[in-house]
Amino acid sequence: MSKLAAGARRWLPWLAALAILAFLVREVRVEPLREAFRHGAWVALSAYIVLETVLTLPVDALGTREALAAAGVDRPWIEVLLARGTSYLVGLISYFAGQGGVGFYLARTGVSVGRSAGAVLLLMIANGVVLVVLGAVSLGIELARGSLEGANSDLLLLTVAAALAGTAAYLAVIAARPRWLARYGLFAPLFEAGIRGHLRAIAARFPHMLLLAALHWGAFRIWGIEVPLGRGLALNPVVLLIAALPVTPGGLGTTQALQVLFFSPYSPATTPDARAADVLAFSLVHHVVGLLAQGAVGLACLLLLRRERP
């Protein structure tokens, strides 16, 4: 029974991703999707995705270094860059696997397992808080401009409000520093970092997450989907946050569903089916080429890291 349960846990995310994609293809219909693939800006988008990946890594490494330092693990930026780039390889599986790759590297280089895990936990918390704050600020701006309407917008606002409340509750616990929780090895780095360390880690992640949101907006424009900058900055952090959840492998399926939901109205196609197919085609191309670029950058960083630390 345990082997059966383990197998189910392994394959369930893939089945969920396939189910979501099958539903999307059925909804947009096959012929409009083929047409969108046929006329999409494949070459320009692929080149842009490679640029995305290369530009993102140094900023990602800077934010990672500061978060690790806040957790008591201080490493040179170039070392963190190579380690973070190498973790892109396991990040092909999922966001959490990629972050765990950083913890594995720390443990391999002399950091205790508990501190390594705690440092990675602080890193992921900082990432999540930044996405929530970016989404809240951008959604607030859109709301003030009267650009948010309908039930989907209400759900978005409710989700962000709940995330902000959860963030405030978490920081209150960190400030209170309950002894029964602070003594656990996994949580010790979080309480040692305190509010000041958390703010340092969060501030360091803002350039990375803002860059990701802006680059995703640019990718839509390259494909020909005219997403307004404000809407892109408002909704892309929400997509990134939900896609990071371990529901499907690497956000496959969930990313496409959210992007079709949020961005179909901005496609230049003439019918609702064609607009949804255009966004779905874009999203699939961006996902697949993004994985290839991520793997190539990860492999290059692994080779360089092995040269630095045989």
Percentage helix, strand, coil for the chain under 3-state DSSP, each rounded to 5: 85, 0, 15
DSSP state of 51: H
Q: Which amino acid is at 123?
A: L
Tokens of 189: 């780095």
User: The pTM is what?
Assistant: 0.86
pLDDT of residue 100: 87
Stretches where the chain sits below pLDDT 50 are: 1, 151
pLDDT of residue 3: 56
- What are the angstrom distances between the C-alpha of 45 and each of 103, 232, 285, 298? 32, 17, 8, 20
Q: Which amino acid is at 12?
A: L
The whole-angstrom separation of Cα 173 and Cα 12 is 34
Residues 247-280 pLDDT 10s: 888 888 899 999 998 899 999 988 888 999 999 9
The whole-angstrom separation of Cα 66 and Cα 156 is 30
The whole-angstrom separation of Cα 160 and Cα 87 is 29
pLDDT of residue 16: 87
Tokens of 23: 């539903």
pLDDT of residue 1: 46
Domain ranges, ordered by start, for the chain: 35-308
DSSP state of 265: G
